[in-house]
Every structure is written in structure tokens, then in C-alpha cells.
Amino acid sequence: MLQLATLRNDPAAVRERLAIRNFKDLHLVDEILSADDHRRKLSFQFDETKAQINAASKEIGQLMAGGRKDEAEARKSDVDGLKKQLAPIEAELAVVEKNVTELLVRLPNLPSPLVPAGKTPEDNEVVRTGGSMPVLPAGSAPHWDLAKKYDLIDFELGNKITGSGFPVYKGKGAKLQRALIQYFLDFNTAAGYTEYMPPHLVNEASAYGTGQLPDKEGQMYHVTEDNLYLIPTAEVPVTNLYRDVILRDADLPVKMTAYTPCFRREAGSYGKDVRGLNRLHQFDKVEIVQLAHPSRSYDVLDEMVAHVEKLVQSLGLHYRILRLCGGDMGFTSALTYDFEVYSAAQERWLEVSSVSNFESYQANRAKIRFKEDGKTQFVHTLNGSSLALPRILACLLENNQDGNGIVLPVALHPYFGSEMI
């Protein structure tokens, strides 16, 4: 969530920034400020009254010790009166404090100045394009046909044992998944990211820490029996490794990478978007996460984008990098770059990575801080996919089909053990 100080310092600027992402409830800014004002007044009253009570209590102790019982009793009745005053203040303060937080959580992050105005994906800015447009031979097929032809993925079996959106990878299909995961992890650790294998279920505090709760409650699978959530991305457990931690400035940046399956309910999705590997309830992804010094976070973002770009390039895919417009950006992000690769058989771009700077928005929720020159402040958190597997696989299959099989990029040969499927 945003820091109250940000709102207090320049509410007009906050409204202006929020307008970039077409945020409608701009009145929340003033509501929060006046609620906070109220909070501060009550808090002051509470503190003052409580100070009197504390002082009196101390005195009573001394009077009792000195055997001056009558005076002590008199002071006790003073305290009684103060406590009667305090009760309503305390009750109201609790309500107001809760109210301030609830309102504040409803504000999305402020878009960085680089974010273009706009409402829909069409308004996203193409930053650059790379690789070359694949030319397919006659009779080429979309990946769901190829997956069947080469017996790589069995969607029907997935339907049978779980449901749609839960594919079963088989034989070389399964091995290719494993090869991709290992290749991605090696690529990331070579760039200085520490590899983690986190739990795939998280508790409520973790889901709140990275902003999945309360906004995206319905998007996660919820194990109600134990009140745990299946992770929608490794970002959640990995970022939360540092929840409630105060680092030293010398510790920054913290660079982490993890492979995990990701679970998403994707309520409301339908149509050709969900065909084959395009949109799944369970998929595999390798994620990179960094905790950065605020003054360096945009350099770090550029570095992460360059890192993912090299990885995409090494797979020989035609790609483009988009700077998301205000209307298309995630709730918690300040600036997001999406990577899309071109699916030749489907003739459409597929998102395979999303690299974002959350500035202090997540850090404020998760209380991830660092100390510099004696001052404690929030880190900036960043993360990106490096990479999500299904759509990469879709493009690899479609773009590299030559009638006899699938020609794999050189980078994967040592991991897959052969050059073709």
C-alpha cells in the first residue's frame, strides 16, 4: 500500500498520478487524509489520558509502599475517572485506525512517470521488437495439434484426473518441461540470483504481504481446511521470505530466483484465449525477485528486463517488449514491462513475462525495510517471470515445426539431450 506520508505531502500529485491509471475513486485520497487527521487527534487524546493514568498508577504504588493508604485510594478514584474518559476514545480510535488502513489498501500504486496514459492493451507502448518473424511451412499446425501428434501433452487425461486447464505432460513433453526449468534456473543463477525452492502453499499473512489479499481473493485456490492458499506465482513465497525483515543497505540488492508451479483459478476466462496452453489453472514458471535500494530500483528494473530479453533471445523467438499503459497495469505495480512472443500458427502475441517495479508498495505491506545511516526505510521490490513455460512451449513447438519434427534451439540441447523432437 501507499505510504500515508506520500498522500500527506502532496495529495494533488497523488490524484494526478492515479488518474493516469484511470483510477476512479480519487475522492479516497481526501477521505483518507481526513480520516487520518481524525485518527491523529484521537491518538493524541488517548496518549495524553493514558500518560496521566500511568503517572497516577506509579504514584499509587509509591503511596502504598509508604503506607499512605488513604491518599492512594484517592488517587485510585482519580484513575477511575480518567478510565471512564478513555474508554470511548479508545473505542473510536480502534475504529478510525481500521478505517484508515482499509481505505488505504484500496488505493493502487502510483504509476511511474514513464507509464503512458491509456485504458486498454492497445494503448501499451511497444518499446522494442526482436528476433525475426517465423515463416511456417505449408501444413503447419497450432501447438495443441502438435502436442497430440508428438504425444507431448494429454489435455484429455488432465480433464479426467483434475479438470480443464490442468494438462498432463508426457514423455518428451515432460522432459522438455524439465529441461526448460533447469535452463532458466541456470541462466538466472549465473546472473547472481540465489535459487530457492519455496513452499507452494502460503498462509494469509504472506498472501496479504504481496497484495494478493484482499484484492484478488477469488483468483487463488484456497485450502479452507487449513486456511492456506495455493501460490499464483513464486513471487508470493519468495518476496515474503523477507517479510518483517530489516536489512542493512549493504545487503541490497537481494536477488532471488525460484521455480514453482503456479495455480490460478482464472475465473471468468473463456474462448480462444484458453485453448491449449494459452491459459491454464496450473502452469510452471521460473521467477526472479529483487529487493533493491529505492534510489537504484529503476536501474534494477532495466537490468531485469535486459536479463529476460537475453533469455528470450537465446530461445530464438520473435518477441516484443511492451511498456504497459496506466489502464493495463497491475494494481500494485508502478511500472511494468511485458514480454510477448509471437505464436506463428495462432498468429498472435502471447505474454510470457511481466517485469515490474513495485517501489515501496509491497514493501510497505510486507514490512520489508533496510537501515541506512541509522534511518529505517522501505526497500523497493521488483519481480519478473524468467520465464513462464506454457506459452514459451507453445511458440517453440509452433515456430520450429518443419514437418519432420520440432527443431529445438541450441541453448536447450544440453538440457534436453537431443536437438529435435
Question: What does the binding site for RNA look like in residue numbers (CB under 7 A)?
Answer: 4, 36, 40, 43-44, 46-48, 50-51, 53-58, 60-61, 64, 76, 79-80, 83, 246, 369, 371, 376
CA of 217: how far to CAs of 211, 265, 330, in Å?
Answer: 10, 10, 15
State the minimum distance, in angstroms, from the CB of residue 85 to RNA: 13
58 burial class (0-12, 13-18, 19+ CB within 10 angstroms)?
A: exposed
Nearer to RNA, 90 or 351 (CB): 90
State the minimum distance, in angstroms, from the CB of residue 364 to RNA: 9
* Beta carbons of 334 and 110 less than 8 angstroms apart: yes
Taking the C-alpha atoms of residue 118 and residue 120, their distance in angstroms, rounded to an integer, is: 6
Angle between helices 27-65 and 11-20 (to 10 degrees): 130
Torsion angle of C-alpha atoms 304, 7, 370, 309, degrees rounded to 10? 0
Nearer to RNA, 186 or 204 (CB): 204
Nearer to RNA, 28 or 394 (CB): 28
What are the beta bridge partners of residue 385? 287
Nearer to RNA, 78 or 123 (CB): 78
State the minimum distance, in angstroms, from the CB of residue 95 to RNA: 12
State the minimum distance, in angstroms, from the CB of residue 90 to RNA: 10
State the minimum distance, in angstroms, from the CB of residue 335 to RNA: 25
Nearer to RNA, 5 or 12 (CB): 5
* Beta carbons of 223 and 203 less than 8 angstroms apart: no
* Beta carbons of 168 and 161 less than 8 angstroms apart: yes
Nearer to RNA, 46 or 150 (CB): 46
Please, which residues have CB within 8 angstroms of residue 131's CB and are 6 or more apart in sequence? 312, 313, 316, 317, 318, 319, 342
State the minimum distance, in angstroms, from the CB of residue 97 to RNA: 9
